[in-house]
Amino acid sequence: MAEFAKAFVFDLFGTLLDVASLRTAVAEFTSEPDAFVAIWRQKQLGYAFAATSMGCYEDFDALTARALEYAARNTGVTLDPDQQRSLVRAWNVMAPFADAKACLTELRAADIACDVLTNSTVRTSMEALDHAGLAALIDTVHSVDEVRLYKPSPRAYGVVSASYRCAPDEFVFVTCNGWDATGAAEFGMRVAWCNRLGAPQETFGKAPTWTVSSLTELVPALGILAHT
């Protein structure tokens, strides 16, 4: 077959796994679970960006716990230590997006490797993929833990090209996060931005190579089958 890419590399949380599904676990503690989850996620990413800028790396599990504590204080929710641990563990049992398995299955059927590049730890990511029923469809999980710098640092994306020992443009990076799409594009990867929410394109950084509204559109939009 003609090789379309060394691998399709997927972001995990927010792309294959639905962060909004945390509302089920959070609903036990607040009457506004969607708002709580939004604050939690925003602060989690904010801490990751800050950790890279400040040079004080902590792994994503630790930052998730710190962000949860912030979200609880911000919304007036009281959580005891066991409840905090339970909510942090909810990241390991998150629901997949409905289109994730079909997309990965279609790519694997075309003999294309499917990897993950995540800000999370390998242990958490593997457990989350297994719970979501996606682990068997993923070849390799790459974590920024290897360089102790979070995406969108160029060195974070470099984990993948270093692993394969080839150029960034030999990969297709797939993400639902606009900042992640521009980060990977700036690094030199071909990028498919899955714009599920119909957000405007980022105004800073390079534009993605392709834009789709769901993972279902990925294979036809990229013309992958024509290359296999």
**How far is the C-alpha of 23 from the C-alpha of 202, rounded, in Å?**
27
Query: Which positions ≥6 away from 187 have C-beta within 8 Å?
Result: 154, 157, 158, 168
Q: Angle at the Cα of 119 (from 117 to 121), degrees rounded to 5?
A: 90
* Exposure string for 138-157, b = 16+ CB within 10 A, e = fewer: beebbbbbebebbbbbebbb
* Exposure string for 52-91, b = 16+ CB within 10 A, e = fewer: beeeebebbbebbbbbbebbbeebebebeeebeeebbebb
Please name the amino acid found at residue 136.
A
| Paired tokens of 158 | 């470099």
Give me the catalytic one of 11, 59, 115, 145: 11
Burial (CB < 10 A; 0-12, 13-18, 19+), residue 131, is middle
Bridge partners, residue 116, by sequence: 10, 141
Active site residue 11: yes
117 close to 9: Cβ distance less than 8 angstroms = yes
Active site residues: 11
